[in-house]
């Protein structure tokens, strides 16, 4: 009896122990989060809670809205799902098995609360190291490209030239990204605004963006199946200029296949280009007046690219193969010259032709090592074949150059990031860029040139938040530049680098930021040589391989604040560069030699004010302006300038209307030439029915005399120039885009073709 009882008790104990192990085994809960349009909602927060709201675990959705979270045992839970710009939703979950698959959860749009700040989905939401922007439906609906969307968002300190595809902020050009990968101008131009979920503006770049002056990342919606074909065209009116692109994409489960192709052309002439020059030689002064008689600026380019990507839960792999061709044939210039003391004018004729072919391969990988760590790498390799021809004729004087170049470029970057427990994070970034160039000059003082350059950088980017008000960023590092010309010694430079930022949020919607970057600049490889190129009968262009690497620091203080529908900001900065590269002049054998040097200092003090105002749901305004003072301390050259810009947008049903105005601007070029640009203005009307996007616009409608004036006064060379070209005077444009979807809706792919072609050839201009 006792033996039977013990046997039953032992069996019951084993059963209870087995069931306990089953209950204690982690249970997987899987699901998807959608927005109101049933698109996957990326980076939403998913929290698993006990019924009494005690926290169990938390994760974020991936780029297509999927999530997987682990429960420690079977039983009843609450699942809380939230995302900025949407209502938080709680759903009960009953876990009885190893894996639970939930139906998709749809989040509704609503005003969101971030800390103590209540904002609408269209407001600028300040996070620890960037500004989060959720575009309004009106802004998205009336945008035909990424540049259009940035323009209509009216980010206070960001200048957007959506016609020419340029974005800049305080300190210089803004680097653009799509889902964390660097994008070029054509990629942003072909981006579909309807697929933008949110935008991250890094005014204090950290982590993977640490090497940028400022950065904007488009976070895209992701879809798993279907495809589309899209066409867009941009045609100028008043002169020949057009840009035409087509893209086709097919998505199937975790694979995406995208094919791009495009063609662009441009041809116009200058209307005015008058120049007065004075050459101070050892025994005489030669004065020359030059008037444009006829000219042509012509270029065209073609490209094709294939993208293939594969995305899994914890990794993303992608590859891009592209081919770019650029051609600028027979760009000629015919001028009338009058030399001091001559009674009759003579004519000069110059012609420049250049072309290039560039196949390019890019490989990208991102791995989530753990929930708190990631590894990311990019490798880009390209080959470029360039051709450059220049000819000049003036009476019996003739110049002819014909150059061929083969260039190989390799770019590699590795990022490792980790989040710690105490509101701090560390990113380690290693970077290397290598260029090898072989040039056959054929005609000139050097028949052949071989050149290589390599630059390596390493950074440790550490961020720490103290409470709710102070955010600290310290990023030490170094760069190592080396290069060598054939038959010359290898030159190298090791430079320390540092980026330091402190942000103090003294009120829920206001903050002050102190910034002080310290580092080195870059060298222009086309100038690092001893080649000579004849320009005309009086001038020679010569390289200089002995330039120093610039040293730069730009301390600044900035303020930003949001008061209801008004956002304001201010910035004061002092930019200091030692060993500034500039154009140097000397006299040799009664010729003006135009070369390069780097023994001067550059200083730029600037004050900027900016603000945006959402007057109504339909009317928006943006105004910014400032003052800058530029000087080269070792010379008498300096310049100061007040400037201002105004932008007004109005939305009504399927239409939008806009006006802009820019004041006259001045600046000093690296050759100490002061340049003045006249004031500009323009407007547009767009219509966006369903899958069509159409826009008509004008530039400078009230002026046919828009001119660029420049002046330089050096000891041995003086020049004054007035120029007017067709693209700068009264002109118009028409944009047209259409998209056809098939199957289930899929995310719009952006054209990531880098159509720029680099060269180490020393050119006349």
Q: Whole-structure pTM over 0.85, yes or no?
A: no
- Give me the pLDDT at residue 111, please: 44
Alpha helices in 233-349 (DSSP H): none
Which is higher by pLDDT, 98 or 741? 741
Which is higher by pLDDT, 443 or 356? 356
Strand partners, 680: 662
- Give me the pLDDT at residue 14, please: 46
Phi, psi of 206 (to 5 degrees): -130, 175
The pLDDT of residue 385 is above 80 = yes
In whole angstroms, give the CA distance from residue 532 to residue 542: 4
DSSP per residue over 439-451, as a string? EE--SSS-SEEEE
Q: Take residue 619 and report the two structure tokens written for it.
A: 């009317």
In whole angstroms, give the CA distance from residue 328 to residue 440: 20
Q: Where in the chain is the domain with CATH 2.170.130.10?
A: 112-220
DSSP per residue over 559-576, as a string? EEEEETTEEEEEEEEEEE
* C-alpha pair distances (Å), 585 with each of 444, 546, 582, 593, 637: 20, 16, 10, 6, 15
The pLDDT of residue 390 is above 90 = yes
Q: Where in the chain is the domain with CATH 2.60.40.10?
A: 12-106
- Give me the pLDDT at residue 323, please: 95
Phi, psi of 195 (to 5 degrees): -100, 5
**Which fold does the domain 12-106 belong to in CATH?**
Immunoglobulin-like (2.60.40)
Strand partners, 559: 512, 570
Residue 765: which pLDDT band, with cuts at 50, 70 and 90? low
The SS3 assignment for 271 reads strand
**pLDDT tens string 568-600:** 999 999 999 999 988 999 999 999 999 999 989
Phi-psi region of 122 (alpha: psi -120 to 50; beta: other; left: phi over 0): alpha
In whole angstroms, give the CA distance from residue 443 to residue 220: 51
Question: What is the rounded average pLDDT of the residues 100-112?
Answer: 74
**pLDDT tens string 219-232:** 887 766 778 888 88
Among 44-58, 363-377, 667-681, name the one with the lowest average pLDDT.
44-58
Number of other residues whose CB lies within 10 A of the CB of residue 469 = 12
Query: 112-220 in CATH: which number?
Result: 2.170.130.10
**pLDDT tens string 248-258:** 888 888 888 98
Q: Where in the chain is the domain with CATH 2.40.170.20?
A: 225-742
Characterize 570-606 residue by residue with b for buried, 16 or more Cβ atoms within 10 angstroms of its Cβ, and e for exposed: bbebebbbbbbbbbbbeeeeebbbbbbbbebebebeb
Phi, psi of 208 (to 5 degrees): -65, -15
**Which fold does the domain 225-742 belong to in CATH?**
Maltoporin; Chain A (2.40.170)
């Amino acid at each position: 009896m006792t033996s039977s009882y013990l046997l039953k008790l032992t069996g019951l104990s084993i059963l209870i122990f087995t069931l306990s192990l089953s209950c204690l085994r982690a249970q997987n809960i899987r699901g998807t989060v959608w927005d109101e349009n049933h698109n996957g909602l990326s980076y939403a927060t998913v929290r698993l809670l006990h019924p009494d709201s005690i926290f169990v675990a938390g994760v974020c959705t991936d780029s297509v809205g999927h999530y997987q979270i682990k429960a420690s045992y079977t039983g009843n839970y609450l699942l809380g799902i939230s995302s900025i710009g949407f209502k938080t939703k709680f759903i009960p979950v009953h876990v009885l098995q190893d894996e639970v698959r939930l139906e998709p959860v749809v989040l509704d749009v609503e005003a969101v609360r971030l800390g103590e700040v209540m904002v609408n989905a269209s407001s600028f939401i300040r996070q620890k190291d960037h500004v989060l922007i959720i575009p309004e439906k009106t802004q998205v609906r009336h945008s035909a490209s990424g540049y259009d969307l940035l323009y209509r968002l009216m980010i206070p300190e960001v200048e957007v030239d959506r016609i020419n595809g340029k974005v800049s902020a305080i300190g210089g050009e803004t680097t653009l990204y799509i889902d964390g990968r660097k994008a070029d101008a054509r990629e942003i131009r072909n981006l579909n605004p309807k697929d933008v979920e949110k935008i991250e503006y890094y005014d204090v770049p950290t982590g993977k963006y640490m090497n940028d002056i400022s950065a904007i990342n488009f976070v895209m919606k992701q879809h798993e199946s279907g495809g589309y074909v899209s066409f867009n065209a941009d045609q100028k009116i008043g002169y020949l200029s057009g840009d035409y692109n087509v893209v086709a994409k097919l998505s199937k489960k975790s694979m995406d296949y995208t094919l791009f192709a495009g063609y662009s052309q441009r041809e116009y002439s200058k209307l005015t280009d008058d120049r007065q020059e004075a050459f101070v030689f050892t025994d005489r002064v030669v004065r020359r007046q030059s008037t444009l008689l006829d000219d042509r600026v012509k270029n065209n380019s073609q490209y094709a690219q294939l993208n293939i990507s594969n995305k899994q839960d914890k990794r993303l792999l992608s590859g891009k193969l592209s081919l770019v061709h650029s051609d600028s044939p027979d760009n000629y210039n015919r001028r009338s010259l009058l030399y001091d003391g001559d009674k009759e004018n003579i004519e000069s004729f110059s012609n420049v032709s250049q072309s290039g072919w560039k196949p390019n391969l890019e490989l990208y990988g991102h791995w989530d090592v753990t929930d708190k760590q990631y590894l990311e790498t990019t490798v880009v390799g390209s080959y470029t074949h360039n051709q450059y021809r220049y000819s000049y004729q003036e009476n019996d004087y003739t110049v002819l150059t014909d150059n061929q170049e083969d260039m190989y470029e390799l770019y590699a970057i590795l990022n490792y990031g980790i989040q710690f427990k105490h509101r701090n994070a560390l990113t380690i970034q290693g970077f290397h860029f290598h260029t090898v160039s072989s040039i056959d000059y054929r005609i000139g003082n050097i028949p052949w040139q071989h050149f290589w350059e390599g630059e390596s950088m390493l950074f440790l980017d550490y961020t720490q938040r103290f409470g709710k008000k102070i955010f600290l960023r310290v990023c030490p590092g170094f760069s190592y530049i080396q290069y060598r010309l054939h038959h010359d010694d290898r030159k190298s430079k090791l430079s320390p680098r540092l980026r330091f930022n402190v942000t103090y949020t003294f009120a829920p919607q206001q903050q002050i930021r102190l910034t002080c970057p310290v580092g080195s600049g870059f060298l222009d490889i086309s100038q690092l040589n001893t080649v000579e190129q004849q320009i005309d009968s009086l001038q020679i262009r010569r390289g200089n391989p002995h330039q120093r690497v610039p040293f730069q620091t730009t301390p600044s203080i900035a303020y930003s604040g949001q008061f209801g529908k008004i956002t304001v900001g201010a910035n004061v900065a002092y930019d200091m560069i030692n060993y500034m590269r500039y154009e140097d002049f000397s006299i040799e054998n009664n010729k003006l030699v135009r070369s390069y040097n780097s023994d001067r200092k550059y200083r730029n003090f600037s004050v900027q004010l900016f603000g945006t105002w959402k007057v109504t749901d339909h009317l928006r305004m943006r105004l910014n302006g400032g003052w800058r003072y530029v000087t080269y301390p070792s010379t008498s050259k300096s310049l100061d300038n007040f400037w201002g810009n105004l932008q007004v947008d109005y939305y009504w049903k399927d239409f939008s209307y806009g006006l802009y105005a820019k004041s006259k601007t001045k600046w000093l070029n690296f050759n100490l030439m002061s340049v003045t640009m006249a004031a500009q203005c323009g407007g547009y009307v767009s219509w966006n029915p369903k899958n069509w996007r159409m826009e008509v616009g004008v530039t400078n409608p009230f002026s046919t005399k828009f001119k660029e004036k420049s002046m330089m006064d050096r000891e041995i060379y003086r020049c004054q120039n007035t120029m007017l070209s067709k693209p700068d005077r009264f002109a118009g444009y028409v944009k047209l885009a259409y998209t056809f979807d098939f199957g289930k809706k899929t995310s719009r792919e952006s054209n990531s073709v880098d159509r720029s072609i680099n060269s180490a050839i020393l050119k006349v201009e």
